[in-house]
Amino acid sequence: MIYHAIGLMSGTSLDGLDICHASFQHTSSDGWQFQILNADTVVYSPDLEKQLRNARTLAAEDLFELNASYGKYIGGQVRLFTEKHGLSSLDVIGSHGHTVFHQPHRGFTVQIGDGRAIKMVTGTPVVYDFRSADVLRGGNGAPLVPIGDKMLFGGYGACLNLGGFSNISMDFEGARTGFDICPVNIVLNHFSQLLGEPFDIGGRLAAAGKVDFDVLKILDQLDFYNVSPPKSLGAEWVSGEIMTLLSPLSPQTVLATFTEHAANQISLVLEKYAVKDLLITGGGAYNEFLLERIRLKTRCKIMVPAPELVEFKEALIFAFMAVLRLRGENNILASATGSEADHCSGLLA
């Protein structure tokens, strides 16, 4: 059977809403095969970006209102996408939602964008809220993409996503493991915007800056990096541990220093796990300076795929996870999240 699904992803870097339409087929001989058929990124309006960026500061009733309105917005964008590409038959939509809170140590994680609203607007079954059940089972609710990395991209030694946060997954000691490494674009984009750029194009701003080695040393010694996986990061941690440390510096110094910090942490992980070949996706894959710094610090062979996969791999995997949810098959790996067991997660609307 061939499944046609749409995956939706909104990351912490607030680049926009990624929409990926793909087909999936499973055979006994080849396992899961996929094809990306259509993909677009919907750039948020300044007003919506501001609402999402400030969502953590809202009163409860205002956050619930945004959850509903953002769900309707997502549904409307999916409907426009299906009309644009002439899509008439979809089996399911998998929506990650937009993360507002992520505090698994306190037993909760919150992604807004009500899946019921998406279904009401599109008329298509929707799987959403993938993370909460894992947190309730004692897991981190993250990372979730290792199931897709294992089943769709198992030919690579490891898969690294460079988005708001960097996260990696790989086979280790007989199981698929995965975890967040460090913040990336959630920090770099913020300080690039202070210099009038939406992001650090190619890493040129960082390359022209000077590293503050005293601050770099403090960053590299943050407690999180000594915690054994599974582990995950949230925007709250960045605000509390990172931004207060960086705010006294000039934006260009921050970009140089934090790019070096990200390269340090990523290369340490690659060396620790003896990764030989690495597939890099996410917006940070276009940061040539960051990749250059990682290459200088590791023996790992780095591969950046075609733009379609760079930009839409996470949305693709949420489409895949929704297909697994429809089939009643496990779509969360306990070895990656730290929950009590592999399980099938996501609410079905």
pLDDT (0 to 100) of residue 28: 87
Write down the pLDDT at residue 146.
Answer: 96
d(CA 7, CA 93): 6
pLDDT in tens, 159-211: 999 999 999 999 999 999 999 999 999 999 999 999 999 999 999 999 999 99
Confidence of residue 214 (pLDDT cuts 50, 70, 90): very high
Q: What is the mean pLDDT of the segment spanning 20-28?
A: 95
For residue 5, the 8-state DSSP code is E
**Quick one: pLDDT at residue 62?**
98
**51 pLDDT band (50/70/90 cuts)?**
very high
Residue range 121-144: mean pLDDT, rounded: 97
The pLDDT value given to residue 232:
94
pLDDT band at 14 (very low <50, low <70, confident <90, very high): confident
Q: CA 100 to CA 79: how far, in whole Å?
A: 24
In this prediction, residue 10 has a pLDDT band, given cuts at 50, 70 and 90, of: very high
**What is the residue-averaged pLDDT of the chain?**
96
- From 294, 223, 302, select the one nearest 260 (Cα to Cα): 294
Q: Where are the beta strands (DSSP E) in 262-312?
A: 277-281, 301-303
What structural domains does the chain harbor? 2-145+312-348 (3.30.420.40), 155-308 (3.30.420.40)
Kindly state the greatest CA–CA separation across the chain.
Answer: 57
pLDDT in tens, 239-273: 999 999 999 999 999 999 999 999 999 999 999 99
- Check whether 13 has a pLDDT greater than 80: no
Give the number of C-alpha atoms closer than 13 A to the C-alpha of residue 195, restricted to the C-beta side.
Answer: 19
Residue ranges of E strands in the chain: 2-10, 17-27, 31-42, 92-103, 108-112, 126-128, 158-162, 165-172, 175-183, 277-281, 301-303, 347-348
Cα gap 18→39, rounded to integer Å:
8
More confident of the two residues 11 and 330: 330
pLDDT score of 122: 98
User: Which neighbouring-strand residues pair with 7?
Assistant: 20, 94
> How does strand 277-281 pair with strand 158-162?
parallel
Record the pTM. Answer: 0.94
How far apart CA 231 and CA 228 sit, in angstroms, is 7
Q: How far apart are CA 195 and CA 79, in angstroms?
A: 36
Percent of the chain with pLDDT over 90: 96
Predicted confidence at residue 270, as pLDDT, reads 97
- Does 148 have pLDDT greater than 90? yes
